[in-house]
């Protein structure tokens, strides 16, 4: 019996790319491929790319260059580029790196087997269309294998917001929602294979409209699945945080008290330039309403500093918003232009000034994150244990608030949810003692 072919996938970027990579591996599994962690062993290498971070395309070309010796040693090795850089660069990737055999966009990866067949026949294969068919329905079923206790589940793709700094509408297309019955069926399948927590994914997940009750309606239906203990969702836009979803945070026990709700800036002038279509005051009032529904909510956010035209006063408004809201977690970045977006053509803030502002913002956010973690000491939380810790007998998992928690747990197995008392706050995690009673 011939050995199976080996597939190496390197994933860049967000959780949606992690999910996409899983599905691509499943699609290729139907063609006789098994995953390997070593590119040296692979018969096919796929780079699943992200276009959000600075110089994303150049990093992909650099990575491809490192595979040139492998291609020389193994002429039958197939190399592909998938994801958002593939969508944005298209045929340019093959022109700049002739060792690439196939390029596939994020909406076409269900066609990966036929593209691979084309590449195997000696042709260059390119597909960056936005097909009308549902790629999820065209993918082969997930193999019936045991899963870890947590899983991502894409329910929505694309974005119609057209923020001035963002390439997502161009690389992922318009907002599309998966039908609720298909999402629920996939969730049931995941639970049957050991998953206890599902994170619903979307570029703008709270714009989900595949259920008559929106994302809140989907969450309430998912909460009825026996064995599914926890539900999360990311990433959201403030303008789509409707009353029903706010109510769900207070009423659905399985919906965890953690919310990632990016604001990007605290200056109304900059928010308008970003085409965010909300004000800082509207965002703050929205947070107040959500916290009224779920007082123990831990809030996470995204911030961009140094956006074109940002003044010191604009930046101070962002610091003021952060002080007002209080974040338990946050992600902050210096603006970098994305070709084809409106902001890319505008005059940039001095790089040194943008660097200095980013350091000031991150210092404030780090203080808030540490304060939120320190405040957990002495509290009881419920931890879903996911893997062994560094020390013998130790297990690591996540609390309701998405804090990493480690505890001595000799008789705890992966997937158990236990009540834990937090005894110490570390730099990026919490230490706890399991309460057996």
What is the full DSSP assignment across 221-268? HHTTSTT--EEEEE---GGG--HHHHHHHHH-TTB-SEEE---B-S-H
Does the residue 267 lie in any domain?
Answer: yes
User: Does residue 142 belong to any structural domain of this protein?
Assistant: no
Ranges 76-85, 309-318, 367-376: which has the least confidence: 76-85
Q: Is residue 180 in a domain? A: yes
Asked if residue 133 is part of any domain, the answer here is no
Q: Are residues 320 and 220 in the same domain?
A: yes
Q: Do 386 and 357 fall into the same domain?
A: no
CB burial of 338-360 (b: ≥16 within 10 Å; e: otherwise) equals beebbbeeeebbeeeebeebbee
Selected residue with higher pLDDT from 2 and 434: 434
Q: Is there a domain that residue 134 lies in?
A: no
CA 410 to chain centre: 32
**What per-residue confidence (pLDDT) applies to 437?**
46
**Domain's final residue, options 127, 160, 177:** 127
393 torsion bin: left (phi>0), alpha (psi -120 to 50), beta (else): left
- Where among 374, 393, 422 does a domain terminate? 374
Domain boundary among 73, 92, 127: 127
Q: Does residue 132 fall inside a structural domain?
A: no
pLDDT band at 143 (very low <50, low <70, confident <90, very high): low
Do 267 and 209 have their domain in common? Answer: yes
Same domain for 205 and 248, yes or no, is yes
| Residue 260, in any domain of the structure | yes
If 0-12 CB within 10 Å is exposed, 13-18 middle and 19+ buried, where does residue 286 land?
middle
On the question of pLDDT at 408 being above 70, the answer is: yes
- Whether residue 42 contacts residue 36, with contact meaning beta carbons closer than 8 Å, is answered with yes
Q: Which of 34-43, 154-163, 180-189, 337-346 shows the lowest per-residue confidence on average (mean pLDDT)?
A: 337-346
pTM, two decimal places: 0.82
List the CATH number of the domain containing 387.
Answer: 2.40.50
Task: List, for residues 223-280, the tens digit of each pLDDT value.
Answer: 999 999 999 999 999 999 999 999 999 999 999 999 999 999 999 999 999 999 999 9
Binding-site residue numbers are 14, 50, 84, 159, 163, 166
Are 315 and 399 members of one domain?
A: no
Count of the separate structural domains present in the chain: 3
Binding site for [4Fe-4S] cluster, by residue number, is 14, 50, 84, 159, 163, 166
Q: Do both 174 and 316 map to the same domain?
A: yes
Strand-pair partners of 290: none
Tokens 């953690």 found at = 258
Q: State pLDDT tens for residues 353-368.
A: 999 999 999 999 999 9
Partners of residue 407 on adjacent β-strands = 395, 432
Give residue 402's pLDDT.
97
Do 266 and 384 fall within a single domain? no
The whole-angstrom separation of Cα 420 and Cα 430 is: 11
pLDDT value for 312: 98
Distances (CA, A) of 185 to 106, 220, 316, 377: 22, 14, 47, 39
- The torsion region of residue 183 among left (phi > 0), alpha (psi -120 to 50) and beta comes to alpha
Q: Are residues 391 and 245 in the same domain?
A: no
Residue 173 and residue 130 in contact, taking contact as beta carbons nearer than 8 Å: yes
Q: Is the pLDDT of residue 129 over 80?
A: no
358 plus 408 within the same structural domain = no
Residues 207 and 344 grouped into a single domain: yes
User: Where residue 319 sits, what CATH number does that domain have?
Assistant: 3.80.30.20
Kindly state whether residues 152 and 190 are assigned to the same domain.
yes
Q: Residue 409 has what pLDDT?
A: 86
Only one residue has tokens 């604009």, namely: 314
CATH, residue 59: 3.40.50.12160
Same domain, 170 and 102: no
**Percentage above 70 pLDDT, the chain:** 94
In a domain, 59, yes or no: yes
What pLDDT digit, counting tens, does each position of 274-300 carry? 999 999 999 999 999 999 999 999 999
Whether the Cβ atoms of residue 435 and residue 420 lie closer than 8 Å to each other: yes
Least confident of 90-104, 117-131, 317-331: 117-131
pLDDT computed for residue 288 by the predictor: 98
Check whether 139 has a pLDDT greater than 60: no
- Mean pLDDT in residue range 331-348: 89
Domain that holds residue 357: 147-374
């Amino acid at each position: 019996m011939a050995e199976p072919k080996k597939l190496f996938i390197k994933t860049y970027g967000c959780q949606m790319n992690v999910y996409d990579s899983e599905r691509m591996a499943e699609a290729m599994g139907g063609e006789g491929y098994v995953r390997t962690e070593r590119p040296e062993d692979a018969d096919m290498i796929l780079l699943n790319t992200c276009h959000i971070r600075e110089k994303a395309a150049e990093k992909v070309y650099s990575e491809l260059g490192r595979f040139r010796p492998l291609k020389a040693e193994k002429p039958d090795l197939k190399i592909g580029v998938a994801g958002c850089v593939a969508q944005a660069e298209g045929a340019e990737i093959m022109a700049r790196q002739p060792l690439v055999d196939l390029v596939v966009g994020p909406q076409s990866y269900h066609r990966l087997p036929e593209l691979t067949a084309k590449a195997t026949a000696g042709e260059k294969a390119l597909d960056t269309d936005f097909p009308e068919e549902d790629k999820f329905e065209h993918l082969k079923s997930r193999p019936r294998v045991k899963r870890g206790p947590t899983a991502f589940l894409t329910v929505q793709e694309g974005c119609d917001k057209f923020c001035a700094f963002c390439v997502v509408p161009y690389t992922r297309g318009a907002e599309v929602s998966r039908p609720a019955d298909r999402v629920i069926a996939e969730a049931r399948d995941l639970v049957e294979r050991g998953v206890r927590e599902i994170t619903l994914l979307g570029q703008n997940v709270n714009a989900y409209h595949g259920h008559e009750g929106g994302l809140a309606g989907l969450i309430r239906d998912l909460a009825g699945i026996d064995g599914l203990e926890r539900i999360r969702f990311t990433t959201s836009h403030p303008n789509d945080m409707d009353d029903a979803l706010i109510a769900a945070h207070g009423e659905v026990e399985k919906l965890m008290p953690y919310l990632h709700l990016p604001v990007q800036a605290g200056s109304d002038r900059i928010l308008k330039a970003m085409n965010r279509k909300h004000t800082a005051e509207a965002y703050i009032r929205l947070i107040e309403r959500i916290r009224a529904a779920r007082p123990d909510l831990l809030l996470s956010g995204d911030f961009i500093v140094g956006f074109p035209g940002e003044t010191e006063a604009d930046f101070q408004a962002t610091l003021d918003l952060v002080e007002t809201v209080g974040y338990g977690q946050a992600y902050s970045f210096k603006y970098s232009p994305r070709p084809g977006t409106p902001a890319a053509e505008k005059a940039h803030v001095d790089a040194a000034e943008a660097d200095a502002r980013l350091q000031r913002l991150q210092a404030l956010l780090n203080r808030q994150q540490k304060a939120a973690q320190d405040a957990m000491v002495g509290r009881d939380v419920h931890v879903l244990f996911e893997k062994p810790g560094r020390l013998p007998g130790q297990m690591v998992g996540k609390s309701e608030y998405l804090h990493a928690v480690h505890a001595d747990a000799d008789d705890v197995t992966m997937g158990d949810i236990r009540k834990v008392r937090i005894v110490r706050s570390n730099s990026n995690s919490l230490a706890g003692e399991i309460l057996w009673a």
